[in-house]
Structure 1
Amino acid sequence: MSLKSDFAITRHLNFIFPWRSYQAKFLKEFDTHINDGHLHVIAPPGSGKTVLGLEMIRRINRRTLVLCPTLTIRNQWNDRLQNCFLKDRDAVSCSYNLKEPATLTFSTYQSLHAFFKNEMNASSEALINFFKEQDLAHIVLDEAHHLKNEWWIPLFELKKIENGIYTSLTATPPYDSSPRELRNYFDLCGPVDVEITVPELIKENNLCPHQDYIHFSKPSKERIKYIQEYREQLHHFVTALTLDETFIKIVKNHSFYTKTNEVLPDIYENPERYSAILIFLNASGIIISKEKLEVLGLDEKEQEYIPNFSYKWVEILLQHYLIDHREHYLEEEAVLVAIEKKLRQIGGLDQKRVNLIGEQRLYKSLSQSTTKLNSIFEIIKTESEALGSSLRAVILSDYIRKEFLELKKSQLSDLNKLGVIPIFQHLRYSEIAEHDLAVLTGSLIILHSSVIEVLRQRTADGDLTWEQLPDSPYLIIKPNSVSKTKLIGVITSLFEDGFIKILIGTKSLLGEGWDCPAMNTLILASFVGSFVMSNQMRGRAIRVSPKSPDKIASIWHLACLDPTVKNGGADYKLLQRRFEAFCGVTLAGNPVIENGIERLDLDVNADQLSELNEHMVHVAKNRKNVKQRWDEAIESGSVMVNELKLNFDDNKPFAVKRKVAYNSTLKYALSEIVLVLTVVLPELFLSYLRLLIAKGIIHFIVAVAAAMAVTLVPKLYRATKLYLYYGRIDKEIEAIAKVVFDTMVRLKHINTAPDQIKLVIEEPKVGILNCFLKGATEKEEKLFVKYLQEVLAPVNNPRYVINQADWLREKLGFSSCFTVPEIFAQRKKEASVFYEFWKQYLGTSELIFTRNLEGRKLLLKARFNELKKDTHVKTKQATIWK
């Protein structure tokens, strides 16, 4: 992309400090990254994102608008510009006013939205014309994960500016947002060009060594009873639904069931609804006819493959009848009203969405469990014993809960919510030194009376007043003339200097933007917010501290386990998802740096909660070991590699599977041959002696061969099938990876010379395959992993699919449908390139366009086929230091 401008920003801006190695590496490849008109950088807090952004502004050399989520961050951009790039402050004109932009304009997302709505009358044309007139062609999005729904509109309109460039800087993309929001994010910001990683920052002493821990708790007996009753009610509701003759009749009268062949186009447009109807009727004991099964790709003998009537299918079915198309069933209103009433009674309706799984409801029940208060106390006790007077612990929660402010010790059992004040009250009445505790929120500040004199020395007379918290040594601080920002700074200094050792606050105040390098222990008692916020909060703890150069940080997460399920329940499930957003060093075994909760090597079981916590407390006390493990892990690698991790259900090594299957094949073949030679052949000789004499040797050989086939072939077939199947899994994945790679090279999604890149497939653990590119750029790695995951994921609703079906594959169970990645499926020309490589590596197949009747027919069969598979593979994008 050509970078031309009349504004000589390049001449007047110059970074006056040396670049860190990871920053220099990115800037070295700047020209490659800018080719698509996007620069997208992910970097943790403390990595120098702002100065990197200013350097990109310098190199792009155009009038620029920098958009930030808050005024504080907006002002930081100008501060960094003045202090790190400009010798002459008047050399480059700057503005905070969107109406009067300068060479560099610093503003907020809110201001742009208001400007678009009020000044431009929400006119896209007017907005674009204004930016063209002002020659604003470079838009910088800082902390772009903050974007709200209404802010998308003007930003996407600005992408229509000819030769415009978008630069996006963030600590964490919103990976846990809805698919639509995540798509919007990447459509706006473009693919990730570079991710500055934690190991690089620790290696250069820009972040401190740290470790994540989890402290587990169980819900109270009352909560457990609530969960059990909720699940029992759900079970009874679903069972009753399958026995409700009136509702069964309503479903059987649906045109999808009564006129299947006549409404096939509608069925292929709504495959999940058709599946839900058949699955419900099957659960109700109805025999499904051949013509209806064939639509799903089943024959009349395969009704057993119809899945159970799980909550997912209940939701799809009832969403249709109760919400989306209620107006079509006015004659059945009485029946539907009765079902809706029962559904509401058990909490299965969430506004206009049927939600039987109850994830939000169960999650709320677990995440707010007050048994986490005991976890917080145990963590503080552990860290206090390990660090003594050096302890600087911050506990972040979501809500203040002022209603518990005057709680007495005898009323502790009344604490029924998690929040800042409940945590404060629980700790002050425990074995924690009272003078160590303080509360810092936007509307409530509490300090121990022993600290007040130091506070007065650091503020001016009349800046603040205070009142006693009844029956306690604590004071509620009330600012008068001093600003809230200044007071927060003073209290932060008290914490850094050790007058306060345990600070309890809200994530909204302390979770993002608050800078306190002295913090060495963080407890995340927050249950609201995305893992974008989780990562931001972690970022507060892992900053290096000039006053404590040997700082090692502990980050504690809280999880309330659901003892009624095997996987830990909704609270732990969310925590697992959040761990995907950041990397760390493994807790045991060989030190490896990777993302995901697997690095903690936990066998989570509510029945072994005490053992889990004892283990966590034991390893957390050995802080020196954390530093040693980071050093060893960093030494063993040089870069974070993006890979696709494939986890198979049975967790058995592929080599073992092949060996077992091969041995079985050999065993069956040899045993059958011995059996034929010693038993079958003599018996056949005697039995067919007359045939031999009468018909001759040819007829005799045919008869013997037929008899051998009857006994030999079935077992040999099964063993051969196993051998071929297990011998193909990793080989087939390798072939598919080659298809993706070669297509990317051909279509110029990979610009690195192919002979410099190595495709690697390894089996690091039992039942797991990792696939990645070695030697490609980070952007190329990420795109390769993304595209490969699309191919291997269950078919959803792609534009093109490849049907890998022939007689032999079908008989051996290999008949499969694979998604053509979206980026290659936008035009038939690109899809055909992908298909040509597919045929080269995987043989006979068919490229099918799914936006017609035949294509949708195949899609439905492919999606349903996933439901009846014996084995499944789970894929996830992972990062690991290698």
Structure 2
Amino acid sequence: MPAQTGTGLLHLNPPLRRHQREALRAWRRAHDSGARRSWIVLPPGAGKTRVGVEAVRASGRKGVVFSPNTAIQAQWAAADPALRSLTYQSLAVFDAEREDRNGDDDDGGGSELSRLHPNGLRLVEELAAAGDLMLVLDECHHLLRTWGRLLAEVLQRLPQAHVLGLTATPAASMTAAEAALEADLFGGVTYQAQIPEVVREGDLAPYLELPWLTTPTPTERDWLRRHDARVQEFLAHLGDPEIASVPLLESLDALTAGTRWADLEAAEPELADAVARLAHAGTARLPEDAVLRERHRQDPGVADWMRILEHWLKPLNESGDGDDPRDRALIDEVAGLLPSLGYRWTRRGIVRSTPTADRVLARSGAKARATADILGHESATLGEELRGLVLCDFESAATLPRTLHEVVDPAGGSARAVLRALLDDPATAELRPLLVTARTVAGEERTLRALAAFAKDRLPEHTAAALVVEHSAGSPTLEGWNARQWVPVITEFFARGGSRVLIGTRGLLGEGWDARCVNTLIDLTSATTPTAIVQMRGRALRLDPAQPGKVAAIWTVTTLAEGLLADGDWQRLVRKHDGHLAPDSTGELVDGVAHLDDGFSAHHPPAPDLNDEVNARAVRRSQRREEAARLWRSALAAGTHQVSVVRARERHRAARAGTDGGRPVQPVPRTAPSPIWRVARISVPVLAALALILVLAGFPAAGAGALGACLVAGTAVLVQVRRRHLELARPPGIVAVAAAVAEAMHEAGLLSRGAEAISARFGGSEGELRCRMTGVPAEESARFAAALDEAVQPLSSPRYIVSRSTVAAPTAWAAMRATLSGRDGQASTWHPVPAELAGRRETAELYLRAWRRWVGEGELLYAKSPEGAGVVAAARGDDPWQVSTAIRLHWA
């Protein structure tokens, strides 16, 4: 197909989308400046292939494309037959004989090229001989995890080649090692677009991220309870002071004594978090100036105990000859228990493996039943338009430890188990579900016969598939095809409604598979890598001309149980949604699990007895697809970047279910005591005494005047007492504290704006207050949110504290008596000064001044002074604001 001269744009191709144009312009700028390496990040469905084709044509060089599988390889070949389209596997063919000869001599530091099979080496030589080459590395995130070192060596052999990396995986999700390799391969991100930006342009469908929570089956639950009880008993046993030469609590005290919190966090962040959570539970003491964040305000989990055990036992293990026999016995006991918890004792310390309890939760038989429930609801909502995709880790059975053979069904979590559950439910059987893997096509007999008839006209050169009704798994199957033949046919059959649900593995129906009709995706996989998650979501986000108002629902099924070992599946859910934006119940685009449900926290799962309530909320949201589309439009119109938002909810109050309707809340300065009041308060007794003296001295007119002045002053006192009582009786809210924090940080030079930039409103199903800074950079937004979160917490180990006056007298009359006596009818509560402002006395005083303006009268104390230490000791644990807070990233 001819291209336009000098532009590389095809005559007959549709116009480039905005992000394709921007990506090509960014690539052109880099190319024209002499850069030979470029990296472009575009979400699935945003048109990376078109960008790569146009870049190769515009470069005027020979184009060679590497991609991760044959499906994507075929897409490139169809997009431009002039390109040489290869898979990464065609390059990374290693010589098995050479590997065997090297054996243990290979220390991992040798050349990757030296390990290649002759066919791989021959391909490298061909590329090197090609001369002026444009090398496109599609889905290049695969390189960083699988073939990164190899490609680095290959590119050293191709010094003249221009390299373009294309991926859907955001750069922010990379590890430090991957980031270093990326910089070596590509030299940094040339252009990047996030999913919300592409949705705003109308190039991807709006979507909902929805949770479905299950509980283990009775057999699974009984096993988990027994296992958890054994672990809890063992952890209690560790508290015995006679169990080792150095008791556990003594080890913790030695760690925290004289240690600055910032130093501990910088040196060993995981250990610091574990100590903070143990302190929150009352087991450990906090170092000086410790700050308890949301992630610390929960009970310690298994991972925390592992960090504590490693800190405690590793020195005992390394102490050499003459060990206390109790230490050796304890280490052996811990080493024997660790595998059941998903950890191993090694010379390097305690390392993570796969916990047995996690296998139970990930493979729970309850997930297949949950899939049927979800699809039943989606069918009721979408009717004949439903096109559901269920993704699993494997087709039929997983390898399980022998200890779980009588606990977990080997087929649990498999595609076949899901197919069986859907066919057993009359409501979902009507959806004509099909199992599609690289080896198998299975389903109900009538559906398979319809598929075979549908395929006759589309595969005339192939023998029709044979229907096999009897199968060991109990479902009829089709045999006689291969995946390359049947996947396109089944995709079209699915799009036309021959089947409304496909069940498969992400290996086949994930990356590279394109079915625009998918509007419901159910994730049953245990995959948590950013690459896998981005690619799975991408299956549902493509636009479908047959569904102009398409809003996709992406469901993640999670199994929750009670006990210390019950959060493995929850942590997988957290990792799946970390760094990913989606609308919450109010339509705000929110990062992480908070977009699934307003009550979710990344740091702890909800109680299992809330499952039904959470699932019901998710179903209601899925039923309001049109409203979801409207909320997407409003959110995208208002937002341009991510900001940090503090969410505050009253701790002991039932959720208000959004009754405030998004009502905004503005901070209002507190009224300072009037100087007239202070004068009048002193004048009343003086004038009264003067009037009495004048009358007794025979000057009744002067006495009457003094008495009149006394009445005027008394009235002023009464008015001021009443106003003051009302002022103190109206406690300031979190927004007032936010204004004080923002104003003080602005005056200290930490923020570019002050209290005028505070934006707060009620919203969400929990009726929570959401507070943020507007018009400031993302890093300032995060700094403010962290400071506000700290300011409303109970005292822990602050450097400075500030008081807030509250009403002690219950009535205005009692307040007047207290005022006339000079006591003002007030008491005080004490609050921490945020660490950002507590480093120096000068900035702490800025906070005091802002506090008095927005929150109320108060005093500042250094927490380590004798008076301050006494106040902290007396007030520690008090919770004056009575709120639970969390920091979330929003698109605003």
Smaller-chain TM-score range? Answer: 0.5 to 0.7
Aligned counterparts, 1:258-277, within 5 A: none
Q: Is the 8 A contact 1:348 1:356 kept in 2?
A: no
Q: Provide Cα deviations, 1:527-578, integer angstroms capped at 9, x if missing partner.
A: 234243233222212222344445443322223233559x994434432443
Tell me what 1:216 maps to. 213
Aligned counterparts, 1:71-82, within 5 A: 71-82=70-81
Does 1:108 find its partner at 2:88? yes
Partner-residue secondary structure (3-state), 2:489: helix
Tell me what 1:171 maps to. 168
Tell me what 1:453 maps to. 453
Provide closer, same or farther for how the CA distance between residues 793 and 612 of structure 1 changes in structure 2, counting only shifts above 3 A.
closer
TM-score (structure 1 length as normaliser): 0.64
Partner-residue secondary structure (3-state), 2:517: coil
Pairing partner for 1:621 from 620, 623, 634 = 623
Q: Provide Cα deviations, 1:71-92, integer angstroms capped at 9, x if missing partner.
A: 442443343234xxxxxx5xxx
Q: Is the 8 A contact 1:398 1:506 kept in 2?
A: yes
Q: Provide Cα deviations, 1:696-742, integer angstroms capped at 9, x if missing partner.
A: xxxxxxxxxxxxxxxxxxxx9xx99x999755422355578x76989
Pairing partner for 2:319 from 328, 336, 342 = 328
Provide closer, same or farther for how the CA distance between residues 783 and 540 of structure 1 changes in structure 2, counting only shifts above 3 A.
same
Pairing partner for 1:606 from 586, 605, 608 = 608
Q: Is the 8 A contact 2:543 2:550 kept in 1?
A: yes
Shift of 1:138: 6.5
Q: Which amino acid in structure 2 is aligned with residue 143 of structure 1?
A: E
Aligned CA RMSD, in angstroms, stands at: 6.3
Q: Provide Cα deviations, 1:768-801, integer angstroms capped at 9, x if missing partner.
A: 4445768xxxxxx78988999999999xxxxxxx
Q: Is the 8 A contact 2:8 2:55 kept in 1?
A: no
Q: Provide Cα deviations, 1:574-618, integer angstroms capped at 9, x if missing partner.
A: 32443344434444x4x4445444345544553343333333334
Does 1:465 find its partner at 2:466? yes
Pick which of 154-163 and 172-181 moved more. Answer: 154-163
Q: Structure 1: how far apart are the matches of 2:324 and 2:304?
A: 21
Q: Structure 1 regions of 5+ residues with no counterpart?
A: 1-7, 83-88, 97-105, 299-304, 405-410, 684-715, 743-758, 775-780, 795-803, 821-837, 843-866
Pick which of 609-618 and 670-679 moved more. Answer: 670-679
Shift of 1:485: 0.5
Q: Structure 2: how far apart are the matches of 1:163 and 1:819?
A: 56
Q: Is the 8 A contact 2:741 2:787 kept in 1?
A: no
Q: Which amino acid in structure 2 is aligned with residue 19 of structure 1?
A: L
Does 1:52 find its partner at 2:51? yes
Shift of 1:336: 3.1
Tell me what 1:575 maps to. 573
Q: Which amino acid in structure 2 is aligned with residue 172 of structure 1?
A: T
Shift of 1:171: 1.7
Does 1:396 find its partner at 2:396? no
Q: Is the 8 A contact 1:306 1:868 kept in 2?
A: no
Q: Structure 2: how far apart are the matches of 1:267 and 1:868?
A: 23
Shift of 1:429: 1.6
Does 1:493 find its partner at 2:495? no
Q: Is the 8 A contact 2:65 2:84 kept in 1?
A: no
Shift of 1:430: 1.6
Provide closer, same or farther for how the CA distance between residues 785 and 183 of structure 1 changes in structure 2, counting only shifts above 3 A.
farther
Q: Is the 8 A contact 2:278 2:299 kept in 1?
A: no
Tell me what 2:642 maps to. 642
Q: Structure 2: how far apart are the matches of 1:285 and 1:430?
A: 49
Pairing partner for 2:309 from 318, 322, 328 = 318
Tell me what 2:825 maps to. none
Does 1:367 find its partner at 2:331? no
Partner-residue secondary structure (3-state), 1:351: strand
Q: Is the 8 A contact 2:281 2:299 kept in 1?
A: no
Pairing partner for 2:381 from 371, 378, 386 = 386
Q: Structure 1: how far apart are the matches of 2:772 and 2:279?
A: 39
Q: Structure 2: how far apart are the matches of 1:412 and 1:234?
A: 18
Partner-residue secondary structure (3-state), 2:476: strand
Q: Is the 8 A contact 1:208 1:543 kept in 2?
A: yes
Provide closer, same or farther for how the CA distance between residues 51 and 790 of structure 1 changes in structure 2, counting only shifts above 3 A.
farther
Shift of 1:505: 1.1
Provide closer, same or farther for how the CA distance between residues 223 and 241 of structure 1 changes in structure 2, counting only shifts above 3 A.
same
Q: Provide Cα deviations, 1:417-463, integer angstroms capped at 9, x if missing partner.
A: 22111111112122133681221111222143332433445434535
Q: Which amino acid in structure 2 is aligned with residue 24 of structure 1?
A: R
Shift of 1:114: 5.5
Pairing partner for 2:193 from 196, 203, 219 = 196
Q: Structure 2: how far apart are the matches of 1:414 and 1:310?
A: 27
Q: Structure 2: how far apart are the matches of 1:273 and 1:593?
A: 29
Provide closer, same or farther for how the CA distance between residues 359 and 739 of structure 1 changes in structure 2, counting only shifts above 3 A.
farther
Partner-residue secondary structure (3-state), 1:328: coil
Shift of 1:631: 4.5
Q: Which amino acid in structure 1 is aligned with residue 53 of structure 2?
A: L
Q: Is the 8 A contact 1:63 1:137 kept in 2?
A: yes
Tell me what 2:371 maps to. 376
Determine which structure has the larger helix proportion and give its number. Answer: 1
Tell me what 1:428 maps to. 423
Does 1:504 find its partner at 2:503? yes
Provide closer, same or farther for how the CA distance between residues 642 and 130 of structure 1 changes in structure 2, counting only shifts above 3 A.
farther
Q: Is the 8 A contact 2:112 2:153 kept in 1?
A: no
Q: Is the 8 A contact 1:348 1:355 kept in 2?
A: no
Provide closer, same or farther for how the CA distance between residues 207 and 306 of structure 1 changes in structure 2, counting only shifts above 3 A.
closer
Provide closer, same or farther for how the CA distance between residues 764 and 730 of structure 1 changes in structure 2, counting only shifts above 3 A.
farther
Pick which of 461-470 and 154-163 moved more. Answer: 154-163
Pick which of 230-239 and 58-67 moved more. Answer: 58-67
Q: Which amino acid in structure 2 is aligned with residue 49 of structure 1?
A: K
Q: Which amino acid in structure 2 is aligned with residue 335 of structure 1?
A: D
Provide closer, same or farther for how the CA distance between residues 158 and 771 of structure 1 changes in structure 2, counting only shifts above 3 A.
farther
Identity of aligned residues (%): 19
Q: Is the 8 A contact 1:441 1:505 kept in 2?
A: yes
Provide closer, same or farther for how the CA distance between residues 121 and 270 of structure 1 changes in structure 2, counting only shifts above 3 A.
same
Provide closer, same or farther for how the CA distance between residues 521 and 325 of structure 1 changes in structure 2, counting only shifts above 3 A.
same
Pick which of 194-203 and 275-284 moved more. Answer: 275-284
Q: Is the 8 A contact 1:251 1:277 kept in 2?
A: no
Q: Which amino acid in structure 2 is aligned with residue 50 of structure 1?
A: T
Aligned counterparts, 1:483-882, within 5 A: 483-563=482-562, 569-587=567-585, 589=586, 591-603=587-599, 606-634=608-636, 636-637=637-638, 640-646=640-646, 662=670, 727-731=739-743, 762-763=759-760, 768-770=770-772, 814=833, 816=835, 877-880=889-892
Q: Structure 1: how far apart are the matches of 2:311 and 2:650?
A: 36
Tell me what 1:854 maps to. none
Q: Structure 2: how far apart are the matches of 1:127 and 1:12?
A: 30
Tell me what 1:147 maps to. 143
Q: Provide Cα deviations, 1:94-122, integer angstroms capped at 9, x if missing partner.
A: 556xxxxxxxxx66277268699565579
Q: Structure 2: how far apart are the matches of 1:204 and 1:307?
A: 41
Shift of 1:510: 0.5
TM-score (structure 2 length as normaliser): 0.63
Q: Structure 2: how far apart are the matches of 1:500 and 1:272?
A: 50
Provide closer, same or farther for how the CA distance between residues 506 and 544 of structure 1 changes in structure 2, counting only shifts above 3 A.
same
Q: Which amino acid in structure 1 is aligned with residue 454 of structure 2?
A: V
Q: Is the 8 A contact 1:368 1:527 kept in 2?
A: no
Partner-residue secondary structure (3-state), 1:514: coil
Pairing partner for 2:236 from 219, 236, 239 = 239
Tell me what 1:797 maps to. none
Tell me what 2:478 maps to. 477
Shift of 1:142: 2.4
Does 1:341 find its partner at 2:341? no
Q: Structure 1: how far apart are the matches of 2:144 and 2:269?
A: 31
Q: Structure 1: how far apart are the matches of 2:153 and 2:782?
A: 27
Q: Structure 2: how far apart are the matches of 1:818 and 1:188?
A: 42
Aligned length: 722
Partner-residue secondary structure (3-state), 1:245: coil
